[in-house]
Amino acid sequence: MELIVINSYGPMGTSVVGSILEKFGYINLPIRKRKLEDYVLGKKDIQDTYFKNRTLELFNNLSKGNHSGGTGVLDRNKNSKQKKLDINLVKFELEHFTNKNYSNLEDMYFDSMIIANKATIYKKKIKNVVGSIELATNLEKVDNKKLYEFYKKKFKKVKFINLNREFVSWLNSLLSQRLLEKNRSLIPNIVKLSSRKRDYDNYLKYSLYYDSLDLSFEDIFIPNTLNTIKKIEYFLKKNISKVILENEYFDLYGAERNFMTTFTKADDNINYISKLSKLIASKINSHPNLLIDILFQFSYIIDYLTIKKRIKK
């Protein structure tokens, strides 16, 4: 079994890359935020029950159904509630998983994902599993050089993919989640642009510690998709030549979409933040940050108050 860790920060196309990897036989499910990095680094002992408890929590939530997945926030908001897992199919396996005293992290991790694959009901289960995908979180909170080294020690076979995206494009997609969230506050939240840029730059710096396949947001989408899949084939030393990709459906974090929908850029064609806000954001670090922060906040307030008129949901 092989682990593929996808590193990203915010909306960088993670679910799209995961959907490609699934075609190679890697388990791709909306399961994350189990503090795997703490177990890898030894901050949590293998006997610490957080990973197991969080796994059970996710299984239960996915069995009740949710609206997750899609090409972006507008697409996700159109989703009907859908059950992703049926825990009744894996009652025995879950009980065994919960009670087993694991001696290593690799076995505990892969057992949880194999059980999840068996419980999957919203799409075809993977018949010949070769590994699993981990969508990394909290990179800004850890020593990434050490995390990379410890991953190589804790997992016999592990590879890394680092994603990146141009800043203004990334910001537009990131803020769409706030601008279009259901039951949002009437009062716009404070967005300190310089802090967003600092966090973005820090992620790019942290990603340099990994020996990885590096993919940009532009690489993933048409017309670059097929060339990028060839890069992934070379990276994995596997191929999916028997699969007619144009006829396939791709799982975007819990919602399947066809080839054209998956690999056609959505967010970049929509000004969630206005053209003025994008222009101001592009000037960060080239002008005094305090001035840019103030200008952007005023522009963002206008964006927040006018979003429903500007975007047809």
Q: Residue 99, CB half-sphere, CA atoms under 13 Å: how many?
A: 6
Rounded to whole angstroms, the Cα distance separating 205 from 190 reads 26
Please give the sequence-ordered ranges of beta strands (E in DSSP) within the chain, or none if there are none.
Answer: 2-7, 26-27, 131-135, 158-164, 213-216, 249-251, 256-258
Residue position matching structure tokens 């087993």: 100
204 closest CA partner among 159, 150, 148, 163: 163
What three-state secondary structure class fits 161? strand
Q: What global pTM score does this model have?
A: 0.93
pLDDT of residue 93: 97
Question: Taking CA 303 as the corner, what is the angle to CA 300 and CA 307, rounded to the nearest 5 degrees?
Answer: 150
Which residues share a beta bridge with 82? 66
For residue 204, the surrounding DSSP H or E stretch is helix 193-206
pLDDT of residue 161: 98
CB-CB contact of 76 with 69 (8 Å): yes
Q: What are phi and psi of 13, to 5 degrees?
A: 95, 20
Its sign, for the CA torsion 27, 16, 235, 245, is positive
Per-residue pLDDT of the chain (313 residues; tens, 9 = 90+): 999 999 999 999 999 999 999 999 999 999 999 999 999 999 999 999 999 999 999 999 999 988 888 888 888 878 888 999 999 999 999 999 999 999 999 999 999 999 999 999 999 999 999 999 999 988 888 999 999 999 999 999 999 999 999 999 999 999 998 898 877 786 778 899 999 999 999 999 999 999 999 999 999 999 999 999 999 999 999 988 667 888 999 999 999 999 999 999 988 889 999 999 999 999 998 888 899 999 999 999 999 999 988 886 4
Q: Residue 246: how many CB atoms within 10 A of its CB?
A: 10
pLDDT of residue 78: 81
